[in-house]
A and B are shown apart, each in its own frame.
Chain A
Amino acid sequence: MTENFFLRFMDIHIKKTKTADHSWESLVAGVQARNIRAMARLITRVENREPGWKEAMKAVYPLTGSARIFGITGSPGAGKSSLTCEIAEELVKRGHQVGIIAVDPSSPFSGGALLGDRLRMKKIFTMKEIFIRSMATRGMLGGLSQAARDVARIMDAFGKDIILIETVGVGQDEIEVVKTADRVMMVCIPGQGDGIQALKAGVMEIADIYIINKADLPGADEVMADICAMLNLSSQNGQALPPVLKTSALKNQGISELADSLLSHPAGSSKDTLRREIQAREEILSLMENDVFRAIRSRWEQSGALTAEVRKMVEENKDPYSIVSELLQQIDGKADLFSS
């Protein structure tokens, strides 16, 4: 490994070349000028992690900070997309500009994805206040929440003041995504004992608002009682319980109350500050993890050192634990590059 090992971190990502139709600068300028096509193109290129994406996000970042981000999660088929559509329409009525990010899983076999959330949002396709973007999970191993955050920031920079992120509440990656939101809605439905099941999976406690959707069907009150009981059990003394609301996306019932509840949340409370600190910490660490790992790996592969270590392990029976701790020692020796 060479002396300027760390100094080369920066140019690792600039290796891939692909001719781009627009410069990053013109796309960011286009977003500022509220050009929809520019926003859509910028999202694609950032999502694809094309070389230069991070510089582009550095330019986007100062334009952000005015949007509120609401996550919406729950079991498959609970009505998340239908509800997202109704909420978005209601928020537009109240004068908001809305961005929607709808996450669906990629197929682990083909890498392709069928993104079907829009099926339930048809009536808002032509509202100029609403921008919808479907996003596949792409097996990004923790990278999904960063990608979703980036997309939300681009929408924020464009001027969307409310961003709704829909994700199905099953995989760890998807749960990480809603954790990047300012407030999280958990969608439950009558008749599936959802409340209890999800509690076991550790999904329920991330929510700030509980919704029983499909309340037009029988059994809504039972689920409501279950959820309230669960919240009572797990609440600390004196802690305010999160709201539990009944909705029907199908019949447009309870939507206005839900919007009230979403918007009523006082921004900048101490709980918010704490949450933002946790989110900032996670974001820095996840970006760092990604970059440091990629940089080390790429340097290690290119210098031939990895191949050499592999050979030592296979031919000389050297143990992998020592291989990695030796590498770490070499990095530790240069740790002062991080200070100042």
Chain B
Amino acid sequence: MEPESKIRVLIAKPGLDGHERGAHVVAYGLRDAGFEVIYTGLRQTPRQIVNTAIQEDVDVVGLSILCGAHLSLTQMVINGLKEGGAEDILVLVGGIVPEEDIPRLKEMGVGEVFTAGTPVSAVSNFIRAAVSAS
């Protein structure tokens, strides 16, 4: 098999909640869809997420947030990426997000919000379309 370009995705869990299941399911699902998934586990600070995204040169950062602080955490990650010259990295948010916050997240620059229960195939299809179009 020839080496080829792979879509690289960081799945990160900012915030203080300890629920890893959703992020696990997405990480394994995206691997099975052919992506290279960097998984860094629970309780990541925005700074840790931004550094990892830049060093790993990912195409996508998927934030799994269940703690209710999605607006501020997402804003911090997006700001950090911008400061690091990496504003072209696609940011996605998954987890528990109230309907009314979705437009606000998109205004910040989030590509899409996947609420709990979204099948992983929806996420992988979105990523494939978005990354190959850019």
Which residues of A does B touch, CB under 8 Å? 18, 21, 36-37, 40-41, 43-44, 47-50, 106-107, 109-116, 118-119, 122, 125-126, 131-134, 136, 138-141, 143, 147
Contact = CB atoms under 8 A, between A and B. Distances in A.
B86 A122 contact: no
Nearest to A53: B3
A172 B56 CA distance: 25
A240 B31 CA distance: 45
A41 B57 contact: yes
A71 B132 CA distance: 35
B6 A136 contact: yes
Contact of B36 (A36, A50, A112, A141): A112
Contacts of B56: 40, 132-134
A47 B47 CA distance: 26
A115 B1 contact: no
A43 B57 contact: yes
B23 to A, nearest CB: 12
B66 to A, nearest CB: 19
Interface of B: 1-6, 8, 27-28, 30-41, 44-45, 47-48, 51-52, 54-57, 84-86, 88
Contact of A136 (B5, B36, B54): B36
A49 B3 contact: yes
Contacts of B31: 107, 110, 112-114
Q: Which 8 A-B pairs have the closest CB atoms?
A: A40-B57, A112-B31, A125-B48, A112-B34, A139-B1, A44-B57, A48-B5, A114-B31
Contacts of B51: 125-126
Contacts of B86: 37
B37 to A, nearest CB: 5
A328 B97 CA distance: 64
A118 B13 CA distance: 13
A130 to B, nearest CB: 9
Nearest to A116: B39
A50 B28 CA distance: 27
